[in-house]
């Protein structure tokens, strides 16, 4: 397995899929290339996942824009220094504020997100779930967290499994 890094990788992958299953060619021709979506890593990448959960994409983008504008730079120090009023003014709920502060505090103390790339997938997932407010669905967001902290061989995801089951049925 290799990481999709460029638009050319997407084009190559779609061509390979169309070759494996000719029924996909008309779909690919009609839909065109899949957009390349890359995410930032580290605390900022995880914060964006938290901010975006359980809300529409447009709401998440609006909240994230206000979050970046108000904090100037998204970092553990900035989140810990911001007041609850500052964070609520961005549109963040109290549970999301509490989760972001807990993760920022853990990262400021001893939790090293970049070290997750060195761990087996199960250990990386357990480490993330050990953070307040991070459950299995957050810890296994494909492929944002693996890419955010480096490539994790064998990374699997409940969400990925759901997609496979939905495709088969």
For position 110, which CATH number holds? 1.10.340.30
Whether residues 86 and 138 share a domain: the answer is yes
* Per-residue tokens: 57: 């994409």
Whether residues 28 and 47 share a domain: the answer is no
Count of domains in the chain? 2
Provide the pLDDT for residue 162: 39
Contact yes or no for 139/99 (Cβ under 8 A)? no
Whether the predicted pLDDT of 4 surpasses 80 = no
3 state SS of 78: helix
Whether residues 18 and 100 share a domain: the answer is no
Place of tokens 């669905």: 137
Mind listing the pLDDT tens digit for each residue in 93-134? Answer: 999 999 999 999 999 999 998 888 778 878 888 999 999 999
Sign of the torsion formed by the C-alpha atoms of 52, 55, 58 and 62: negative
Range of the structural domain that residue 19 is part of: 1-36
Whether residues 91 and 130 share a domain: the answer is yes
Q: Is residue 3 in a domain?
A: yes
Distance, CA of 26 to CA of 151 (rounded, Å): 33
Q: Is residue 158 in a domain?
A: no
What's the chain's average pLDDT?
83
* Per-residue tokens: 55: 């809300």
Whether residues 58 and 102 share a domain: the answer is yes
Provide the CA 17 distance to its chain's centre, in angstroms.
Answer: 25
Cβ neighbours of residue 61 under 8 Å, at least 6 residues apart? none
């Amino acid at each position: 397995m290799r990481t999709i890094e460029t638009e050319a990788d997407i084009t190559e992958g779609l061509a390979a899929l169309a070759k494996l299953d000719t029924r996909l060619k008309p779909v690919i021709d009609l839909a065109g290339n899949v957009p390349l979506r890359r995410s930032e890593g580290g605390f900022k990448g995880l914060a964006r996942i938290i901010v975006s959960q359980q809300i529409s994409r447009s709401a998440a983008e609006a909240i994230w824009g206000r979050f970046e504008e108000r904090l100037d730079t998204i970092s553990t120090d900035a989140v810990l220094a911001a007041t609850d009023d500052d964070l609520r003014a961005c549109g963040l709920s109290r549970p999301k504020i509490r989760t972001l502060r807990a993760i920022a505090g853990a990262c400021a103390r001893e939790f090293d997100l970049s070290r997750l790339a060195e761990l087996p997938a199960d250990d990386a997932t357990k480490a993330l779930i050990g953070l307040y407010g991070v459950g299995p669905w957050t810890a296994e967001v494909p492929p944002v967290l693996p890419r955010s902290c480096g490539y994790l061989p064998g990374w699997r995801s409940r969400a990925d499994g759901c997609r496979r089951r939905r495709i088969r049925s």
